[in-house]
Amino acid sequence: MLKFILQRLLYMIPTLILISIVSFFVIELPPGDFMSSYVAGLASSGSEVSEATLVNLRESYGLDQALPVRYWKWVSKIILYGDFGMSFEWNQPVSKLIWERLALTLAVSAFALMFTWAIAFPIGILSAVKQYSVADYVATFFGFLGLAVPEFLFALVLMVGAFTIFGIGVSGLFSTEFADAPWSWAKMVDLLQHIWIPMIVLGVSRTAVLIRVLRANLLDELHRPYVVTARAKGQEEKKLILRYPVRAALNPFISTVGWELPNLISGTTIISVVLSLPTTGPLLLRSLMSQDMYLAGSFILMLSVLTLVGTLISDVLLAFLDPRIRLQYEK
């Protein structure tokens, strides 16, 4: 098992290097740079920037240097000092802008993931065990309904419903008095009172998908010879299902943990705009539109690192769950 984990960690090193290169160069693919966007914005408002001022600004931001030089300065500062550079648009350190938003995004995503699994697992198992029953048809109907309704529309419906029925505004993650306040127990409680809307909105469509996947996987396992043999030996049905076929049907869930976290985070962009959430999505969208390369590159790098970490976690969990994976590395 230790050999398996060490091998996965070694694979992550060259992957991280490649990810940092791609993350930085992808931001540079569109024509122009931040100065081009900045000058265009000034021109649209009727202001003008002289050529000498533009040259000075490009030099001060380091945009006059070659692309490999800018990449090396960016990545070396991250490795040596944990410095992600300065945001051009905000004129602040990138690390100051992203950490709190990333923490809030992870909190929303974690709650959405727990909601998804807590609902999808029991309904998916019930739908498979009671195939073609009323419960199965009801679960199928609501599953397709959850897939069909766009997340942003569902968010709007919940916001309107919460305001008209209960008289409360649920946009944002904090009340007005806690938005800029330092962290405290009262602010944490206020966060929990607001986080349920994005949790439900993000979780519904993924819950529908996981219900269908678990149902299909479990139906395949329930007709395997080992299940028939266990039934013939008189094993209790509930213990039999949970111990053998459900365990085997969970493999696809565990193997996709590495995708779920970045999918949830990137999926919050439109929802964050609709619900006015202070998460990474709107800031990432704005940095891409303004070509703020250090801020956008850092966000893309973070999402990629989260994908790697999630993949490592899923590999380790699969090794614990499935002895076949673990044994092939113990030879």
| Domains parsed from the chain with CATH numbers | 104-280 (1.10.3720.10)
> In whole angstroms, what is the distance from residue 65 CA to residue 58 CA?
9
Decide: 34 and 89 in contact? Cβ < 8 Å.
Answer: yes
Q: In the chain, pLDDT over 90 holds for what percent of residues?
A: 0
pLDDT at 43: 66
Decide: 305 and 19 in contact? Cβ < 8 Å.
Answer: yes
Mean pLDDT in residue range 274-298: 79
What tokens were used for 235? 């094993």
Band of the pLDDT at 330, cuts 50, 70, 90?
A: low
Over the chain, what is the mean pLDDT? 78
Distance of CA 172 to the CA centre of its chain: 18
> In whole angstroms, what is the distance from residue 115 CA to residue 145 CA?
17
> In whole angstroms, what is the distance from residue 75 CA to residue 261 CA?
24
pLDDT at 327: 60
